[in-house]
Structure 1
Amino acid sequence: MRKCAIMLVLLFAAFSALAQKPIKGIVKDSNGKAIESVNVSLKDPEGNIINFTRTNSNGEFSISLKNDQITGYKIEASSIGYKKLSMVVADVNKNYDLVLQNSETALETVTVKNRPSLTANGDTLNYRPSDFADKQDRSIGDVLKKMPGIEVAENGKISYNGKSISNLYVDGDNLLDDKYNIGTKSIPQSAVDKVQVIQNDQPIKMMRKNNMSDDVALNLVIKDDAKLKVMGDATVGAGMPNRFDENLTAMLFNKKLKFINNIKGNNIGNDPGIDLTSHNLSDYLKRLDNNKPSGLLSTGAAGVPSLPQSRYLFNKAGLINLNNLYKFNQDLQLRANLSYLYDQRDQQYNKFSETYLSGQTISYSESQNNAINPQKLRVQFNLNGNADKYYLNNNFVLDYAPYKTSSGFVINNVAANQILRQETIDISNEFNYRKKLKSDDVINLYSYLNRTTQPETLNITPGLNADILNNGNSYLGLNQYIKIPTWYTNNYASFAFVKNNFVQTYKAGFNVQQQQLNSELYRKQNNQQTELVSGNAVNDLDWLKTKLYTEANYDFTNDKIKAGLSLPLSYNQINYSDDVNQLDKSLHRLFLNPSFNARYQTSPENYVTANYAFRNDLGGIDDVYRGTVLKNYRSLFANNAPISESETHNIGAGFNFRKAMQMLFINLTANYSDAKLNTISSYSLSNNIQQRVVLPLNNHIRTLSFSANASKYLFDLRSTVSAGVTFSQSKYDQLQNNELFAFNAQTVSYKVGIEAKLTNFINWSYLANFAVTDNKAKVAGAIKTNFQQLRQQSTLAITTVRNVYLNLSAEHLFTHQSTQPNLKYLFADMNIKYKLLKMKTDLEFGVTNLANIKRFDAIYLSANSLTTGTYYIPGRVAMLKATFNF
């Protein structure tokens, strides 16, 4: 009987198995690649799960069906990183192919009552400004400083976890074109719903499918109610002694039209020109490959003190800054960015400098009283078409920048006056067109055209250094004239072959640079006669540089790895001649400049990077002119060498770590470079003048750097804390007074900071930076210099009574140098604000520099020189302002 029962059970199971009809299929991604371990469920019309399984390594699945009743049944496939897909079951005998589309992966949001939270969707991290803002924060820039992982420098530059952002978008649109300071200063934090950090930002739509970008961008998501109206504010301020501060800003952010338009002016030390800062300009200029000198002449000024600009600047400045973007449709837009800056600055300082050489010390003292008048006019029009199948970008820019400096100066007890005039006109047009074919391959056409003129004149009275410039006879003055007009064009075509996760791009192009350097140095004798200082003080140099290049790029990306190999090959030809200086030379070089970069995703939030690059570079027209140029009143420059050539090896690595839900961010970077050069600057120094001649001599510049930074939000303390350390070391040679010195310069800097909410009505911020610099020449008995500086900044923000806000801030600077007395400064400021809510008006009274410090001493170190400077700075300033918000 037992055997019969067992046989019956087995037969019943066998018949049951035969009665079950499996539903089979395969799950793939959008590229046709099979996906393993996808959850596949069979659901009845009410949504109940009848059966489920997972796909195997080939993406295949099989789900048993117990009966033939399949009306309303669905197959549902889901996996992390893909959109959920449902498909109706119409035929049991059919094989079902399910194609899952990529999706941003939403990490679990930690929700704690009355505490900030972050959400992460794939490459996008979302901050809510309301979680970090307090009642005194007006603009979104005030809140960004408090967000863990985000750092805002004094010049407004924004970084995320150690990497500078490439763009600041406003509701996804690039309104400000890298000059985003006006946005962070003007957009009210209350109008921003989310601040999105977009890693691997790729603004070109057609490139997002095979995204090779490593850029990081910020996107400000504007609240719906803020998009319906024009917002802004108007400020009127007056103060003592004879101070004013005015501002008018209007902005609109709707789907068709976006603008931020601003007019401002002040004489309280706030430089409105900071709003025109292009934070990624150096990267852009490298891509253009248009090497040209920015200006050969100067007034020999000592630079600026190591203080925030608002503490030392004597100015009277005004700025018109207009940024408007109109969208014809979702894929086509026109942007206009227009600005004009007019500035008047006064600067007064004294300086003493010593340069330590074998058996001698070169020293000089000087003072200057400068009146500086910079102006900047910029007109930019950008037409951008950005669709799934094409990309069009045309950018026209006109820059006009007249610059005048008048100064009286004394050098080693000899008084004189100088006037420097510079006038730059720069016109360019950049065109870029991409087209995606049916095969997903991409054609790219690019053209850039630029014309620049930059005449400069330097007038000095009376004549200086008569023993060198006038045979020892006194004379009335010097006039240095320079012109460097430039034509430049860069053009290429490329074709990208796209196959799944692998992209091959092949490029071919050419660029041409044509320049002239015309200069004359005249002296005026006591009898009013004007003549050339010498036959060697003239340049009439023609320069033609052409480059033919091809480039192969190979990029691979998947969920874990992103890697790129670049193999640019170029043929470079330079011809330059100057009949006056009997110069007629040419250069021909074939360069291969390979580079490699890789990124490995160690976890959904963390990754490591590595990169290597080898690069050959050629100098420019300012490396080869033979005639002497009076660069400033104490510097004569010339060249007696071939075109500068350098070969640079660069290797780097990094690690980015984050736990977004715990608001912890850490980044580590290391970099080493070795540059081999074929020329060196030889300086002949005396107590009155320095002369530089570039000579042929092989030498190296080796640099090593390391940095580690961390940022964390402490939930219990309602505080964002940050810390970092940076190490840098440089080894290089200098040729001074016919002696070759090998130098070693090393700097270690530390920083700590906190943004804390002590109570519901008291906020406190603190930032400290401590740097130690060591310099030493590698010769017996060389002087070793050690420089230490501590800078501390702190602010206490207090809500005293309803709608009354008090801010107390202080800044402490301490400088130690072994051979000099210690320098100590403490600056203190006070500000009180009252909000008239019904009138949407803020009344504000503030006093800066309460201690009325009017003189600031500073120390500057280089490898074998020490400079001490005394700057005269504005004293106490009291301001009363009224700001109306609309």
Structure 2
Amino acid sequence: MRIILLFILFLSIEYSYAQEYSIAGALKTKDGEAVSFASILIKDPENKVLVFKTSDSNGAFTLTIPKTTEANKLVLEINHLGYKKIHQDIKEGILDYEILMEKQAIDLSEVEIKSKPIIRSIGDTLSYNIDSFAKNEDRSINDVIKRLPGMEVNENGKIKFNGQDISNLYIDGDDLLDEKYALGTKTIPYNMVKDLEVLQNHQPLKVLRNKTLSDKVAINLVIKEEAKLKLSGQAKLGLGLPKQYDGELNSILFNKKYKMLNILKGNNIGKDLSSDSQPAGLLSSGTVGNPGLAKNRYYFNNSVSANANNLINYKNGLQLKVGINMLLDKNEMKYNSITNLYSTNDTIQYSEEQNINNHPFLTDINLNAQFNKEKYYFNNTLKLIYSKETSSSSLLSNEANMNQRLKNQVQSFSNELEYVPEFKNKNILHFNWHLSYSNQPQTLSIRPGINAAIFNEGIPFEAINQFAETPTLDNRVSIAYQLTKGRIKQSYQAGIVNEFQNLNSQLRFKQFDGSETSYQSDHDNDLNWNRNQFFVNGSYEYKKGALESVFSVPVILQRISYDDKSFNLDKSETQLLITPTLRIKYLTGSENYLSFNYKFSNETGNINNVFRGAILSNYRSLQANDADLQKQYKHNLNLDYNFRRSINMLFMNAGVNYVTTKSTTITSNIISNNISQTILLPLINHVNSFNIHGGISKYIFSLGATADLKASWGYTHFNQLFNNDLLPFNNISFMLNPSLEARLINRISINYSSIATWTTSKSETKNNIAILPDRQIQNLDQSIGLTYAPYKNTFLRVSGRHQLTKQPGTKNVNYFFADVNASYKIAKWRTDIELNLTNLANITSYETQSISANSSVYSSYQLRGRMAVLKFIFNL
């Protein structure tokens, strides 16, 4: 019996082993890149699927197969969008397979429609065919990008893809323009571009590709072969009424070795030619903000700019790049406002009427040398900036007349060196050194002397002169070592940061006898500031299947010291700061993912928080501090969902963001009808904000249209110390932004866009009674355009913009702007003729209303009136 039982057991074991066996393997490209999430099937001779599985994030797979047929009769079938299908015979005795996958462009659009839009996907690259989305009336590539499903372009030319900002814009793989890419998208003709590629999970350093995780999104413009062969460009000349001119000359060359985009522009029709805004200084000539209009409506200018961008690629891999930008401008603005500030027992009102004339001169030079190779990365970037601006204004504030003059100068130098080699063991070293110096001396002069009761013991005086500057030297050096092997990829970094600053200011009141006095015998600021940090950082990356995560723990030993002998101020502080971050991403499908981000910031203030001497930052704002170094503790949590169906041209995103901040100081505002005094006081302050947002972009095949919808809801709780009253506020805002661009019939197309916002400011209650009454405001801004092509190469476009503002207790603000553009292409002469008629209703003033915490502001701006410009565009 024992022998029989042992025999039966032996047979059962043998039978179980005979029933199944396993094979394993890996999917790779010829470049060694893993092919993740491919579909792997094992089929029998009758083409029936026996086993199904997907490869993991490293391209590996393991399959357990029931042994119902002979192994040499089974077939391994592998499918992946963007790669050729593979059929691999399974052979007896071979249990490990390494399979090479070959990339293949897949046309995801199989629907036949008139405009035939084409979108393709290869791995992490999504490619739009430009010709299939372009229209005959388009000029630059920027016009086409605006209508691509999933893409978003704001008025400044900044681009987003499915709600995420792009990190780089390449032209045939080269980053010619760096962060000033909007200059290129608005200049490069759309017919030079074959495809626009969206590079997801983009890693710009070749040595780090497939070795570290990235969530960046970049864009690459693929230039047509025929456009690479010769130098091209445009000459534009426009003249019009009243006394208008608009001119441009550009030259473009995009080939493999040499790329250039050089532009010379000049106009007085309201086009802003500045590619960068001036850095904010301590002083300003007033409180003027910009209206919610396109800048060419209110910008009275006379501008000339030159932009030279040139890049050379050498055979050894060296890339040299030079960027030179210059601007000479003269502009003016006429503005007036009424501001109401509310406290528990008073309402303070001040009015401001200002005519401002600015004369800026800006120039910056960028020199870059780079090797971007598979085995190492080297980059050195030198930036030089010099600008000078004089602003003068006549101002009437609460019946007090004055003239102001602000001189502003910026001098800046920076150099950044980065070296990233790969060692024989495949590990990575990362060295970075950044050195910079900047200064922005400013002088504000006001005549006649104002607020004598506050500044000069009630005695009239001639003028106020305020000078301020903060020269800054910044040095940052770091070195990191990255381990690229193992399930958890690790990186360890160490570095130092040195910051040296001196805040120097003098506030003087010139008397009628020629003498000068200071504010209430106050001393001048001569504040020395040193911040030194030593930091270490451990970063850990994990990826398995659909899950990836990045966790880093920077630990910073910081010492800050500052002193000003005039105020007997001599303080120093040493802190240990820990600022962890966590990013988790989970792929819920081949094109969808869920991401979670957390960041804790443990920050300290800067030199602007600790100076003791008074600074008159503008004619009615006096600032000083009476607190120790500010400390802030901030938690930032973000949850996002990103959804795509490229084959259907459907893109969706949604997110939730929560931020809570605790600060050891609060800004106290002491405000009268004539002046506001701002003091930083030691008082615990909490700010909490919560935001929900979402967006959808869809190409509607039946209409040949791109439709977009964005929405957001936000809540913020904060405190404001106003005239010694601590006022807690809750601000609630909602935004809805639909848009549509469609071709109605063969010769007519329409585009529509609107932004509707609802804002409510509520103060908290005491004894069930609101401290201040609630205030609400509603804004609607909608634009519509209609384009008609009556004949071949002839286009007529009529556009309108309607704006409506509603605020309880005030009169509604309502505007409608209308413009007309007519153009004709003379193909034989490679020439376009354009006629632009703007502001047909001749609206010359514009009113706005806004609310914020315990204030409401009414503003009025002078606008450019009706204009007509005839422009000739010669394609060279």
- What TM-score do you get using the length of structure 1 for normalisation? 0.90
User: What is the CA distance between 1:869 and its match in structure 2?
Assistant: 1.0
Q: Which residue of 2 aligns with 1:461?
A: 447
SS where residue 347 of structure 1 aligns?
strand
Tell me the alpha carbon deviations over residues 36-81 of structure 1, each in whole angstroms, 9 at most, x when there is no partner.
9745899xxxxx99999979963689995889xxxxxx99874537
User: In 2, distance between residues paired with 1:807 and 1:35?
Assistant: 48
1:443 maps to: 429
Distance 1:666 1:297, change over 3 A: same
Contact kept in structure 2, 1:24 and 1:95, CA below 8 Å: no
CA distance in 2, matches of 1:112, 1:431: 50
CA contact (8 A) 2:81 2:121 kept: no
Q: 1:28 aligns with which of 26, 29, 39?
A: 26
Match of 1:766 in 2: 752
- Match for residue 120 of structure 2? 119
Q: Would you say the 8 A contact 2:72–2:92 is kept in 1?
A: no
Q: Matched residues in 2 for 1:150 and 1:404: separation?
A: 39
In the alignment, is the contact (CA less than 8 A) between 1:459 and 1:477 conserved in 2? Answer: yes
1:405 alignment partner, SS class: strand
2:186 paired residue number: 185
Q: Which of 42, 56, 62 is the aligned partner of 1:58?
A: 62
- Name the counterpart of 1:109: 108
Instruction: Tell me the residue number matched to 1:286.
Output: none
How far 1:560 sits from its partner (Å)? Answer: 1.0
| Deviation for aligned residue 1:104 | 5.8
Q: Which of the numbers 840, 854, 859 marks the counterpart of 1:864?
A: 854
Contact 2:476 2:495 in 1 (8 A): yes
Aligned residue number for residue 829 of structure 2: 839
Taking the aligned partners of 1:869 and 1:33, their CA distance within structure 2 comes to 58
State the one-letter code of the partner of 1:845. Answer: L
Kept after mapping to 2: 8 A contact 1:181/1:277: no
- Paired with 2:163 and 2:48, the residues of 1 have a C-alpha distance of 48
- Give, in whole Å, the separation in 1 of the partners of 2:489 and 2:232: 45
1:848 matched to 2:838? The reply is yes
Change in Cα spacing, 1:412 to 1:35, as seen in structure 2 (3 Å) is closer
What SS does structure 1 have at the residue aligned with 2:203? coil
Q: Which residue of structure 2 lines up, in the alignment, with residue 215 of structure 1?
A: 216
Give the drift of 1:106.
5.6
1:686 to 659, 665, 672: 672
1:101, CA displacement in angstroms? 5.1
1:120 offset after TM fit, Å?
Answer: 1.4
CA distance in structure 2 between the partners assigned to 1:336 and 1:722 by the alignment: 38
C-alpha spacing 1:369/1:55, structure 2 compared with 1 (3 Å): closer
Residue 535 in structure 1 maps to residue 521 in structure 2? yes
Which residue of structure 1 aligns with residue 58 of structure 2? Answer: none
Partner amino acid for 1:345?
N
Shift of 1:94: 8.0
Structure 2 CA distance for partners of 1:601 and 1:474, relative to 1, 3 Å: same
Deviations 1:104-130 (A, max 9, x none): 686662322333231111211111112
Corresponding position: 1:389 with 2:379 = no
1:500 Cα deviation after fit: 4.8
User: Mean alpha-carbon deviation: is it higher for 842-851 or for 97-106?
Assistant: 97-106
How far the C-alpha of 1:432 sits from its partner, in A, is: 0.8
Contact 2:38 2:80 in 1 (8 A): no
Work out whether residues 461 and 478 of structure 1, in 8 Å CA contact, stay in contact via their aligned partners in 2. Answer: yes
- Tell me if structure 2 keeps the 8 A contact 1:683–1:735: yes
Partner of 2:796: 806
Asked if residue 672 in structure 1 is aligned to residue 673 in structure 2, the reply is no
Deviation at 1:339, TM superposition (A): 0.4
Secondary structure of 2:138's counterpart equals coil
CA distance in 2, matches of 1:426, 1:725: 40
Q: Which residue is equivalent to 1:884? A: 874
Give 1:471's aligned amino acid.
E
Would the alpha carbon gap of residues 24 and 855 (structure 1) be closer, same or farther in structure 2, given more than 3 Å must change? closer
Q: What residue in structure 2 maps to residue 100 of structure 1?
A: 99
Match of 1:338 among 298, 312, 324: 324
Checking the alignment, whether the CA contact within 8 Å between 2:322 and 2:366 is kept in structure 1 is yes
Look up the match of 2:819: 829
Q: More displaced, 490-499 or 300-309? A: 300-309
Q: Is the 8 A contact 1:37 1:54 kept in 2?
A: no
Distance in structure 1 (CA, Å) of the matches to 2:345 and 2:482:
62
Superposed CA deviations along residues 134-158 of structure 1, whole A, max 9, x for unmatched, are 1100111001111111011111111
Q: Per the alignment, in what secondary structure is the counterpart of residue 180 of structure 2?
A: coil
Alignment CA distance shift 1:559-1:251 (3 Å):
farther
Deviation of 1:25 (Å): 7.3
- SS in structure 2 opposite 1:200? strand
Distance 1:875 1:391 in 2: 54
Q: How does 1:636-675 map to 2 (within 5 A)?
A: 636-675=622-661
Which of 570, 573, 579 is matched with 1:587 structurally? 573
Distance 2:533 2:511 in 1: 46
**How many residues were matched structurally?**
838
Give the fraction of aligned pairs with identical amino acids, expressed as a percent: 36
Cα distance, 1:34 vs structure 2 = 12
Question: Does the 8 Å CA contact 1:497/1:503 hold for their aligned counterparts?
Answer: yes
- SS of corresponding position for 2:155: coil
CA deviation after TM superposition for structure 1 residue 392, in Å: 0.8
Closer/same/farther in 2, CA of residues 571 and 367 from structure 1, 3 Å limit: same
Q: Aligned pair 1:510/2:496, yes or no? A: yes
Return 795-804 or 836-845, whichever deviates more.
Answer: 795-804
Deviates more, 1:742-751 or 1:116-125: 116-125
Taking the aligned partners of 2:862 and 2:457, their CA distance within structure 1 comes to 38
SS at match of 1:580: helix
Mapped to 1, the partners of 2:87 and 2:476 lie a distance apart of 52
- Note the C-alpha offset of 1:33: 12
Amino acid at match of 2:425: S
How far apart are the structure 2 equivalents of 1:357 and 1:441? 62
Quick check: 2:86–2:101 contact (8 Å CA) kept in 1? no
Displacement after TM superposition at 1:794 (Å): 0.8
1:200 aligns with 2:201: yes
Q: Offset of 1:371 from its aligned partner?
A: 0.3
1:468 match: secondary structure: helix
Q: Is the 8 A contact 2:691 2:715 kept in 1?
A: yes
Q: Which has the larger displacement, 812-821 or 114-123?
A: 114-123
SS at match of 2:271: coil
- Aligned pairs (5 A) from 1:561-572: 561-572=547-558
**51-60 or 780-789, which deviates more:** 51-60
Question: Is the partner of 1:821 in helix, strand or coil?
Answer: coil
Alignment of 1:595-674 (within 5 A): 595-674=581-660
Counterpart code for 1:509: G
Contact 1:422 1:456 in 2 (8 A): yes
> 1:724-765 CA distances to partner (integer Å, 9 max, x unpaired)?
211111110111111100011111011111001111211110
Look up the match of 2:4: none
1:131 aligns with 2:132: yes
- The one-letter code sitting in structure 2 at the alignment partner of 1:367 is E
- 8 Å Cα contact 1:210-1:501 kept in structure 2: no
Residue 811 of structure 2: SS of its match in structure 1? strand
Q: Distance in 2 between the 1:176 and 1:106 partners?
A: 28
SS of corresponding position for 2:314:
strand
Which letter does structure 1 place at the counterpart of 2:574?
H
Counterparts in 2 of 1:856 and 1:33: CA distance versus 1, 3 Å: closer
CA contact (8 A) 2:79 2:86 kept: no
Matches within 5 A, 1:258-337: 258-273=259-274, 275-276=275-276, 294-329=280-315, 331-337=317-323
| Residues 1:257 and 2:243 are matched in the alignment | no
Structure 1 residue 84, shift from structure 2 partner: 6.5
Given that 1:497 and 1:505 are in contact with CA atoms closer than 8 Å, whether structure 2 keeps it comes out as: yes
Residues 359-370 of structure 1 mapped to structure 2, 5 A cutoff: 359-370=345-356
In 1: Cα distance, 2:789 partner to 2:27 partner: 55
- Write the distance in 1 (CA, Å) between the matches of 2:862 and 2:518: 38
**Equivalent residue in structure 2 for 1:553, among 539, 545, 553:** 539
Gaps of 5+ in 1: 1-22, 43-47, 68-73, 279-292
Q: What SS does the aligned partner of 2:179 have?
A: coil
CA distance in structure 1 between the aligned counterparts of 2:277 and 2:698, rounded to whole angstroms? 29
Shift of the 795–37 alpha-carbon distance from structure 1 to 2, 3 Å rule, reads closer
Any idea what the Cα deviations from partners look like across 1:182-210, whole Å, max 9, x if unmatched?
A: 21111111111111111111111121113
